[in-house]
Amino acid sequence: MKTLAKNLSIVVIFTTFFCSNSICQTSESQDEYHKLRTFGIGINFKPDVFEGYYYYETPSQFLFTLNIKDKLRIEPEFGFSSTSHLRDSGSEDDFSSNNIGIGIYGLKNINQIFITYGIKYNRFSSITDRENINNRYENKAYGIGPSFGVEYILGKHFSVGTEFNVIYMHRKEKNDYDTRDNIVDDESEYKQWSTIAGLQFRFYF
What is the domain partition of the chain in residue ranges? 2-204
Q: Are 190 and 146 in contact (CB under 8 A)?
A: no
Fold topology of 2-204:
Porin (2.40.160)
Task: Provide the b/e sequence for 132-143 (b: ≥16 CB within 10 Å).
Answer: eeeeebbbebbb
Residue 71 has pLDDT above 90, yes or no: yes
pLDDT digits (tens, 9 = 90+) for 147-175: 999 999 998 899 999 999 999 999 898 88
* Predicted TM-score of the model (pTM): 0.76
CA distances from 1 to 4, 5, 7, 8, 199 (A): 5, 6, 10, 10, 18
Cα torsion at 112, 114, 115, 119 (round to 10°)? -160
- Top-confidence range, 5-9, 55-59, 94-98: 94-98
Residue 28 has pLDDT above 80, yes or no: no
Residue 182: what pLDDT? Answer: 66
Residue 58: what pLDDT? Answer: 59
Phi, psi of 160 (to 5 degrees): -130, 140
The enclosing H or E element of 4 equals helix 2-24
